[in-house]
Structure 1
Amino acid sequence: MESQPELRHLLPPSSLRRLAREWLAEDCPHFDYGGFVAGEGQASAALLLKSAGVLAGCPFVEAVFEELGCELEWLQAEGSVLQPVCQVATVRGKARHLLLGERVALNCVARASGIASACRRVAEVAERAGWHGHLAGTRKTTPGFRLVEKYAMLVGGVSSHRQDLSSLIMLKDNHVSTIGDVSKVTKIHCPFPRWDRVTVC
C-alpha cells in the first residue's frame, strides 16, 4: 500500500531556504558577538516542549539549522499531541551556529505549535458537537510569517483556506459597499475564470 504524502511536502524547498535566510539575516544582520565568544567547538542542544500542545513547524526549524550546517534529529513526530516536559529534538553542530539559529528556530516552532494546538482544540469541539461544516483560517496572519501560520493550521487539522488575495475570488462587504449594490458585482466584466462562483460575504 502506498504511503500518504506528508504535509511538509506542500512546502517548496526554495521557499524554506529563502525564509530561513531572511530570518537569520534579520536576527543577525552584522556582527555575531555571541558567536564570536562561543567559538567553533562542537556542541549539542536539546529542544524541550514545556507546554502541552501539538508539535508543528518542523520543516521551518530544519531549514534554519540546515542553513547553518547543523544536524537535527526529531524525537517526536510533527502533529503529535505532547505533554510537558519532553524532549522533541536534538541539534548538533558548531556552538556559534547552534546559538545563531536557536532563537529563530524556537520562534518558529513555538508560534506554529501554538496555532496548531488552538486549531486542534477548535476542530475537536466541532467534532464533539457533530458539526459537519468547514473550519478554515483567514488572511489575518502575521506579515512575513504567513506560510508558517497557514502550514500550522493544516497540522492542527483545519483548512488554510486561501493563501492570498489571488487564491480565490472573494468579495467582502467592504468591496460591495464601494459599488453600492451586490447585484452590480455580477454585471462587471471580469477576465477571471469562474466569475459565476464569486463568494460574497
Structure 2
Amino acid sequence: MKKKAWLGAEKIREFLKEDIGHGDITSSSLIEADQRAKARLFYREAGVAAGLEEVTMVFEVLGCDVVAHASDGERVSPGDILLEVEGPARAILSGERTALNIVGRMAGIATAVAEAQRIASEASPSVRVAATRKTLPGLRELDKKAVSLGGGDTHRLRLDDCVLIKDNHL
C-alpha cells in the first residue's frame, strides 16, 4: 500500500504558477517547442535526501518522465545522482528552479535535524529533536516532512492535533 503524500499535486501546481507565471518567456524564445532534453539532479554535499517525491511531482506535472536513484531519508554523498528527468526541454527548464528550491530547502532541514539528533543522542539516547509550528505559511508540510526524514519529531502539525496550553492561554 502506498503511503499518503504529505503534499499533493495541487500545491506543486501553485508553486510552479508562482514561478512560471504566464510562461517561461526565455525558454520559449530560445528553445523549439518539440526539443527534448535529459537532466540529472545530484548532490554537491553529503547529507540526507529529502524532497525527491515533491521534485518528482514537479516534473511529472510538467509532462516529464522521472527515474529516482535515491529515496527520501537516505544518506547521500557528493556526486550521488538523485534522479534523472526526461521530457520537453522547455518543461525541464521551467521546473528546474522550483525543483532545486524544494530539494535544497528540504535536504538542508533534514540534514541539520539528523546532525542535531546525532549530537542529542550521544548526550542522552532518549532525547528527541522536535520541531515547532513556527514555519512560513504554505511551507509547513515541506518543513515538517524534512524534519521527519532527518529523524526528528514533527511534534504537532496543526492546532487541532492536540491540546497545548501555553502562557498566552492563561
Query: How far off is 1:108 after superposition?
Result: 0.6
Q: Which runs of 5+ in 2 are unaligned?
A: none
Larger RCO, structures 1/2 (Cα 8 Å, 6+ apart):
2
Matches of 2:27 and 2:166 in 1, distance apart? 49
- Tell me the TM-score normalized by structure 2: 0.91
Unaligned stretches of 5+ residues in structure 1: 177-201
**Aligned position for 1:151:** 145
* Structure 2: distance between partners of 1:27 and 1:134: 36
Q: Say which of 101, 106, 111 aligns to 2:100.
A: 106
Deviates more, 1:51-60 or 1:94-103: 51-60
Q: Which residue type is aligned with residue 58 of structure 1?
A: L
Q: Which amino acid aligns with 1:16?
A: G
Residue correspondences, number:
168
Q: Alignment RMSD, CA only? A: 1.6
1:83 shift after superposition: 1.9
CA distance in 2, matches of 1:111, 1:55: 11
Aligned residues with identical type, % of pairs: 37
Separation in structure 2 between the aligned mates of residue 60 and residue 109 of structure 1, nearest angstrom: 8
Greater C-alpha Rg = 1
Distance 1:106 1:55 in 2: 12
Q: Show the counterpart of 2:51.
A: 57
In 2, the alpha carbon distance for the partners of 1:163 and 1:51 equals 29
Instruction: Give me the whole-angstrom Cα distance separating, in 1, the residues matched to 2:81 and 2:5.
Output: 25
Is the 1:34–1:96 Cα contact (8 Å) retained in structure 2? no
Q: TM-score, normalised by structure 1?
A: 0.78
